[in-house]
Amino acid sequence: MNTKTMLITGSSRGIGAEIARQAIGEFNIILCYNQSEEKAALLCAQLSKYGGVIALQADVSKSNEVAELVKRAEAHFGKIDILVNCAGIAQQKLFTDITDEDWHTMMSVNLDGAFYCSRAVLSGMISRKCGKIINITSMWGEVGASCEVHYSASKAGLIGMTKALAQEVAPSGITVNAVSAGAIQTDMLNDLGEETIEVIKKETPLGRIGTPADVANAVLFLARESGNFITGQVLSVNGGFVI
């Protein structure tokens, strides 16, 4: 059996790590991390009991590092069938307090990183006439969030890239979709504080904060054959917060 290979950026913790846990055994996994080497190594060791997995370091905001990442990944597993662009950062600031550095850093990780990774894997996917790209975006990219303008803009850009790229590469048999996450129990959410989290929980129709598994389930639905006729779509996982 020809096991497909999935590259997950930002996969040392949170949503990315949960996607890897759910996908291992069904797919070969490439864990891409930037700074969290210890967490990535631990996760890699845990997952290695169940299937093929390697951990590779790369700063996705740097195109040369992404090119080297893909080169090493393809050398190890032969090809990359599925790319999950999960690496991302967030920051809360008044719009007038956002510095040039804040803005460029946000865009370089959340949007440039997905661009670099998608571009790097597409040549192989196009030549094979198959492949899947799944971008992890946010409900704030759909509707915007006060005090998170740069974050919202980066995620809205990712949605736009998803829809446009899906049309461009569809004739090559490649699908491109986004999973738009709501309030999910991760380190990023914990930075907001307990009071804010409680407010979000009350404003969510399903009455709870989402889990990384909720997002991972959606990603795996798209990654499997169940998602073969779906492209250019934004699958929202937000408990009804945004409809």
State the CB neighbour count (10 A cutoff) for residue 215.
26
Query: Which is more confident, 214 or 187?
Result: 214
Structural contact between residues 136 and 15, judged by C-beta atoms closer than 8 angstroms: yes
Q: Phi and psi at residue 49, in whole multiples of 5°?
A: -70, -20
Read off the tokens for 31.
């864990």
Separation between Cα atoms, residue 77 and residue 205, nearest integer Å: 43
Give, for 136, the enclosing helix (H) or strand (E).
strand 131-138
Query: Does position 121 have pLDDT exceeding 90, yes or no?
Result: yes
pLDDT score at 239: 98
Write out the DSSP string of 75-107.
HHHS---EEEE---------GGG--HHHHHHHH
Query: Does position 79 have pLDDT exceeding 70, yes or no?
Result: yes
Catalytic residues: 151
Taking residues 140-157, report their average pLDDT: 97
Residue type, 208: R
**Where does the pLDDT of residue 110 fall: very low under 50, low under 70, confident under 90, or very high at 90 and above?**
very high
Q: Phi and psi at residue 146, in whole multiples of 5°?
A: -60, 140
Separation between Cα atoms, residue 83 and residue 30, nearest integer Å: 10
Query: Does position 190 have pLDDT exceeding 90, yes or no?
Result: no
Query: Does position 113 have pLDDT exceeding 80, yes or no?
Result: yes
Residue type, 154: S
Q: Quick one: the chain helix, strand, coil %, rounded to 5?
A: 50, 20, 30
User: What are 10-61's pLDDT values in tens digits?
Assistant: 999 999 999 999 999 999 999 999 999 999 999 999 999 999 999 999 999 9
C-alpha dist (Å) from residue 169 to 93, 163, 172: 37, 11, 5
Instruction: Give the list of residues 6+ apart from residue 221 with CB closer than 8 angstroms, or none.
Output: 227, 235
C-alpha dist (Å) from residue 152 to 101, 145, 149, 157, 240: 16, 6, 5, 8, 18
Mean pLDDT computed over every residue of the chain: 97
State the CB neighbour count (10 A cutoff) for residue 225.
6
Read off the tokens for 50.
């169940």
Least Cα distance to 83 among 122, 41, 110 occurs for 122
Domains located in the chain, CATH noted = 5-184+212-236 (3.40.50.720)
pLDDT score at 1: 61
Q: Is 192 helix (H, G, I), strand (E, B) or coil?
A: coil
